[in-house]
Every structure is written in C-alpha cells, then in structure tokens.
Amino acid sequence: MYDLLLKNGRVIDPYNNLDKIADIAISNGLIEKVQEHIDEKALHVIDVSGCHVTPGLIDFHTHIYPLAEIGVLGEATYFPSGVTTAVDAGSSGAGTFEGHRGALNSTKLTVKSFLNISSGGLATGSYLENLNPKQFNRDKIKKLFRKYSHELIGLKVRQGAEIVGELGLEPLRETIKLAEELGVRVMVHCSNPPSAMAELVDLLRPGDILSHAYQSKASTILDQEGIIIPEVRNAKERGVIFDVAHANVHFSHQVASKAFEQGLLPDTISTDLTVRSLYKRPAVMTMLHVMSKFIAMGLTLDQVIRATTQRPAALLGLEQELGSLSAGTAADIAVLRLLDSETEFGDCDGDIIYGSQQFRAMITVKEGELVFRDVEI
C-alpha cells in the first residue's frame, strides 16, 4: 500500500520528457512510480484531474529570514506556491552565515545559499554592504565552503553603481578570483552596473549567473536600437546563466520582450522575493505570479516549468534528485492549476501588461508529506 496516490493529473516532467495524464505513487518520502492507471491502494488518494503535476518548484533567487532583515519566511511563503526548494541569493556573508544557518536546517523547505562576498551580507536594509576587496574575509570564506559544502553553492556580489561607487568592477573581478580558488559559481547582481554591460558580462565564466538579466537601469543587455549586444550573445553561448530575479525594481517588460523576440530567454525564472515585494501587486507577489507573467509574455508552459524545475536543479547539481519526477527520488511535487483569469503584471518602470491565465497551487508535497493543500481539492 502506498502512502499517497495522486491520480489523473497532467504530469509535466521536462527532465524525463514527460507530458501526459498519469498517476504518481509515493511511499516513505519517495516517488515509487509514475504511470497511467495505478490501481494499488494508498492511505491517501487525491484526484488531481485538471491539474498540472510537476517537480516541486525551485525559486533560484530569493532572500530568506533571518539571513536578511528583509527576508521572507521560508515555509509560509513557499509551500502555498508549490515551491519545495529555495536558493538564498547572498543574504548572509562570512560574518553572519553560521549564526543563522540553524534556522535553515530546522525547516522542511530545502534551502541552498550563495554566500555574499561582503562579510555582513544583507543583514540590514539600513545601509549598503562594503564591497572594498580589501575588506573581503577570504580565509573565513574558504573555511565556510570547506565546512558547509552541501549548503553553500557559490559567491554573490552586487555590482550596482550605487553600491560599488568608484570601485567599479573590481569587486566582481576579485570575487571571480576567489571563486576560481573555491571551484564555485559567481552570481552577480547587474542592475544599474557601474560600467557598460558589455564589460561586465565579458568577465563572467561559463556557469556564472547574470542576475536581474532583464533590468533597465543604465547599461542593459540591449544597445540603443534594442538589439542584443554581441558580448551578451557571446556570454550566453559560452554558458553564462541568465536569471530573471524579478523583484519590484529589476525586471523591464521592454527589455525582456525585445530580448525574447531575439531568442534570448531566461535560464531560470526566479523572484528575488523580500518583504518589500511579497504579496505586493502588481510586480512580484509570489513565485506563481511571476511564472504566470512569462506565460503572458509568450513562453510555453514547458519553458516556464523547465526554468523553475529542471534548470535550477541542474545548477544545484541535483537535476534528477530535485528537478524530476523520477522513481526513487524524493517526492517533492507541485500540483498546479492554470486558471483563466484576467491579471495585471507590473515591472520596474511602472509598465503593465495583461495576461489571461494565472497559476494557482492546489497541493505541495515535500519529501512525501502534504505540506499544503487548497480547500478546493
């Protein structure tokens, strides 16, 4: 007898090239089988007809409390949105990570972290981090990566002109040098860059992450005619990851729509959620609201699901484990409805686009446990 049986859903699993009506059987926290018409009994059987059943969603760029003062509460924020894994994008630095990691380990939500190159990270929203490379605590950072290699996945540096000032791109250069020694990725906040975007992206290595890739402040991924600049094309071709990291102020419909028309789609669709944007209309709201926007902007359902499951899981080195519905993997599952609903979507420039569909989470399963269930199912 299975513990849980989800029946008659449209199973969408990009990793396994699966898109069909099927049942999913779960026992002992693991997916036992995915197939049509599973007839064996289960302790709990839920008919999910009319729903999309996907791997648990992954928000690849967020800020979790208490790592950041402006962070969101992990389980309360994400389980009602079908998210089972979140990636904290540099809320903590070398001076704060160990003090807060216990909070991450006591939650059922899986959380991986980019370590902020600045020792204080984003502990407070009252002032900006110190990005003078002379103040980087390289020895402590190396120690933390040795000690917490399963929790820390890379280094984060914010390259906004208002943050780095006259330091220009030097914080990024020094962060990349340290990342080379550690063998990890760099995630760079590129909104309002202190240089031409071309110069910034030229520094990035395959696997590094250009976060807020579709931002509109100062230099962008487009030239003045709206054409993708060659350096950005080259970065994409050599394997730089383009991350949405929407936030209230880091995503432009105009930049994104022109980039999409030219084939430059995001690798990962993420929120950059904080308490400043959570449940605030019309820009971010939730993970599902951001995903719905990309449906409205013309991405296919498969593209949106892939960018919130398989692709971020692959960047975590857990493509099959967290980004698929393969038998034998942890039963992290999202059950979603794509409802017909007229919806407004905002951006950093105050522009509004309109969509006709909205994702809604019906069930979230984390390691085989029902951690969220809508009253209508």
Binding site feature residues for Zn(2+): 61, 63, 156, 189, 212, 272
Q: Which of 268, 295, 284 is nearest to 356 (CA)?
A: 295
For the chain, counts of helices (H) and of strands (E): 12, 15
- CB half-sphere exposure, 151, CA atoms < 13 A: 18
DSSP string for residues in 193-260:
-SS-HHHHHHTPPTT-EEETTT--SSS-SB-TTSPBPHHHHHHHHTT-EEE---TTTS--HHHHHHHH
CB 155 within 8 A of CB 114: yes
Q: In three state form, how does the secondary structure of 249-279 look? A: CCCCHHHHHHHHHCCCCCCECCCCECCCCEC
Residue with tokens 């992990």: 74
**Residues making up the binding site:** 61, 63, 156, 189, 212, 272
CB 12 within 8 A of CB 323: no
Amino acid at 318: L
**What stretches of 31-137 show up as alpha helix (H) in DSSP?**
74-78, 97-105
- Of the chain, the end-to-end C-alpha distance in Å amounts to 22
